[in-house]
Amino acid sequence: MFEDLTLFAMARKSMNWLAKRQEVLSENVANANTGNYQAKDLAPLSFKNLVDKDTAVRAVTTNPMHVSPMVEPVRFETLTERRPEESKPNGNSVLIEEQMQKIGEVKSNYELAANLLQKNMAMLKTAIGKGGGS
């Protein structure tokens, strides 16, 4: 029922991505002492991928004398460069401090998405008269 609502679908996709990223980061930490192991991460989740194409608001020209709307999408690119001194002598590129920082970000973002879902569910319950609030 709620899966059809854009906010809930976006939160679900975000939480699934965060859970998968947690797996990858945990694997990095588990292999911190494995020779030649290269740290991995997921490609960043973009807002564009979260929103269904069906729900996008499109700009249209309402008068032929108006300038036609042309909006270029903003693209973000993440580059990860390793300096030679960041690798261990055994070729391992896992930096525990960096992995722990990323794990903390995942935890915070997951809690944020869960709280957002909880508050929106409470608002919906209040709106339909079933109580809510928390």
The structure tokens listed for 108 are: 């915070």
Specify the residue for token string 């909006």: 71
What residue numbers bound the domain in which 22 lies? 1-32+91-128
Q: Is 63 part of any domain?
A: no
pLDDT in tens, 15-68: 999 999 999 999 999 999 999 888 888 888 776 666 554 444 455 666 777 666
Tell me the residue ranges of DSSP E strands in 31-130. none
85 within a domain of the structure (yes/no): no
Reported as a single tens digit per residue, the pLDDT across 111-124 is 999 999 999 889 88
Note whether residue 55 is domain-resident. no
The pLDDT value given to residue 36? 87
Report whether 120 contacts 7 (CB < 8 A).
Answer: yes
Counting the structural domains of the chain, the total is 1
Position 68 in a domain: no
What pLDDT does residue 82 have? 61
Instruction: Give the range with max mean pLDDT: 10-24, 85-99, 119-133.
Output: 10-24
**pTM of the model as a whole:** 0.66
Helix axes 6-30, 96-127, angle to 10 degrees: 160
37 belongs to a structural domain: no
Domain assignment present for 59: no
In angstroms and rounded to an integer, the radius of gyration of the C-alpha atoms of the chain is 21
Query: How would residue 110 be classed by pLDDT, with cut points 50, 70 and 90?
Result: very high
As a whole number of angstroms, the distance between CA 32 and CA 39 comes to: 9
Q: Given the structure tokens 């002598």, which residue do they identify?
A: 89
Kindly state whether residue 43 falls inside one of the protein's structural domains. Answer: no
Alpha-carbon gap, residue 73 to 3, rounded angstroms: 27
Q: Is residue 114 situated within a structural domain?
A: yes
